[in-house]
């Protein structure tokens, strides 16, 4: 995370150098707009896992930073047009009046279109998030790409600082070029992602199936560490879905245990051996701390949230490790017999409180939130908690 923070600060230095040049409201509006654009730029970068993973392997921290930037970006992006309205002594209609009749008004209107797109993105991600289905939210989220492009185009056309400072204009164009390359990269990644063939499928319970995938050709994903996950696609143009790796072989085979809980998992459940899938990964560092030393590790899983712990227990089970698997039905009690055999009495029926232990919690967002809340209430510190969740 330190490396990522350092890189982000470096990209902001050229704009921080402008603080001494803000003499009036118009200058402040320009600087705020540039800052908002940089926040949007970093949101797009962090939203591209193939890039952000190279800057920080802790996926949850990257997601948290992505959301934090969304709040900062929202403040700056919304403040910029308000300051421009004040600086130009205009009424509120100035914010939404589209005019493409001449060059300067066209560049201004690009910013207004970007503002409208941003409002749609912001509303569906905050105030309306609970009322909007995940699929619609995801599709609306895609507007961040044209939105950021319009913001860069808007500032390039009428930005005062960019017009006055050639070095800043060159830097701005470099950021825009990186954004274009990043979008192209994201569109092309599915076409050259690893191809794997389904070689076996085993029904673990009425709702959970185990899939074993073998690499096609010489290209294969690197061996995953315990607790890591991969993104699976049914085709090069289909949406990717993350699943924890429960095992891997020296020949490159990967095993996943998936609960049927939606359209994608239903299609996955209908595949027969021989089907070809696309794979991207592995990612994540969720259980890394449980393997660093012999400090007590308490694993708490809700339902299919057991999957990140399976390989960890198989490879690193010891007297320092205990596991609680909370299930709502017998169909979710997958891997119970194997894990109980490996852990013995440390496969617990109640949540253990262990001094100085690290707690690893995985399950649905509601399960993780309630479990962490209970642990915090019982005195477990934030630095002892490691969480991961999935959306059914």
Cβ neighbours of residue 36 closer than 8 Å, sequence gap 6 or more: 73, 75, 76, 77, 79, 80, 151
The highest-level CATH class for domain 2-191 is: mainly alpha
Answer for the pair 257, 310: CB distance below 8 angstroms, yes or no: yes
**Is beta strand 297-302 parallel, antiparallel or unpaired with respect to 241-248?**
unpaired
Answer for the pair 294, 254: CB distance below 8 angstroms, yes or no: no
Quote the CA–CA distance of 146 and 163 in Å, as a whole number.
23
pLDDT digit string, tens, across residues 193-234: 888 999 998 898 888 899 999 998 777 777 888 888 898 988
The highest-level CATH class for domain 288-389 is: alpha beta
For 380, the 3-state DSSP assignment is: coil
**Whether residue 282 has a cis bond before it, omega within 30° of 0:** yes
* CA-closest candidate to residue 209, choices 283, 274, 273, 277: 273
Quote the CA–CA distance of 169 and 30 in Å, as a whole number.
13
Answer for the pair 64, 71: CB distance below 8 angstroms, yes or no: no
b/e sequence 129-157, b meaning 16+ C-beta within 10 Å: eeeeeeeeeeebeebbbebbbbbbbbbbb
Pick the CATH number of 193-283 from 1.20.1630.10, 1.10.10.10, 2.60.40.3140, 2.40.30.10: 2.40.30.10
**How much is the pLDDT for 132?**
67
The angle at the Cα of 177, spanning 164 to 35, to the nearest 5 degrees, equals 55
**pTM (2 d.p.):** 0.76
pLDDT digit string, tens, across residues 164-175: 889 999 999 999
Lookup result for tokens 């995801």: 138
Average pLDDT over residues 328-338: 84
Q: Which two tokens stand for residue 309?
A: 């712990």
Residues β-bridged to residue 385: 359
Query: What residue segments make up the domains of the chain, in order of their start?
Result: 2-191, 193-283, 288-389
pLDDT band, residue 1 (cuts 50/70/90): low
* CA-closest candidate to residue 111, choices 182, 50, 40: 40
């Amino acid at each position: 995370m330190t490396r990522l923070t350092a890189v982000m600060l470096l990209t902001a230095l050229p704009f921080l150098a402008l603080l001494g040049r803000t003499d009036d409201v118009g200058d402040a509006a320009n600087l705020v707009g540039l800052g908002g654009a940089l926040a949007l730029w970093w949101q797009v970068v962090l939203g591209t896992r193939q890039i952000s993973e190279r800057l920080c392997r802790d996926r949850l921290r990257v997601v948290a930073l992505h959301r934090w930037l969304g709040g900062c970006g929202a403040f700056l992006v919304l403040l910029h047009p308000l300051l421009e309205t004040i600086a130009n002594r205009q009424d509120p209609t100035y914010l939404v009046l589209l005019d493409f009749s001449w060059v300067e008004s066209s560049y201004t209107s690009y910013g207004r279109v970007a503002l409208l797109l941003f409002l749609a993105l912001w509303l569906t991600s905050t105030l309306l998030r609970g009322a909007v289905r995940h699929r619609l939210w995801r599709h609306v989220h895609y507007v961040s790409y044209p939105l950021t492009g319009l913001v860069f185009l808007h500032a390039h056309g009428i930005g005062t600082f960019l017009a006055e400072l050639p070095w800043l204009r060159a830097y701005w164009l470099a950021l825009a070029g990186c954004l274009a390359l990043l979008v192209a990269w994201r569109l092309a990644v599915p076409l050259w992602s690893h191809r794997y063939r389904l070689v076996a499928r085993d029904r673990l319970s009425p709702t959970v199936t185990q899939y074993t995938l073998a690499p096609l050709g010489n290209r294969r994903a690197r061996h995953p560490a315990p607790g890591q996950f991969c993104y699976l696609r049914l085709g090069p143009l289909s949406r990717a879905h993350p699943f924890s790796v429960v095992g891997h072989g020296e020949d490159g085979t990967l095993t996943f245990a998936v609960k049927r809980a939606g359209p994608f998992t239903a299609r996955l459940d209908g595949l027969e051996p021989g089907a070809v899938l696309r794979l991207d990964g592995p990612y994540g560092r969720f259980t890394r701390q449980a393997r660093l030393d012999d400090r007590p590790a308490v694993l708490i899983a809700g339902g299919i949230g057991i999957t990140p712990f399976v390989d960890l227990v198989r490879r690193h089970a010891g007297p320092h490790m205990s596991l609680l698997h909370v299930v709502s039905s017998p169909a979710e009690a997958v891997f119970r017999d194997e894990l109980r055999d490996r852990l013995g009495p440390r496969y617990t029926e109640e949540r253990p409180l262990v001094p100085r232990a690290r707690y690893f919690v995985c399950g649905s967002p509601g399960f993780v939130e309630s479990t962490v809340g209970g642990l915090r209430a019982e005195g477990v510190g934030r630095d002892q908690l490691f969480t991961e969740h999935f959306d059914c």
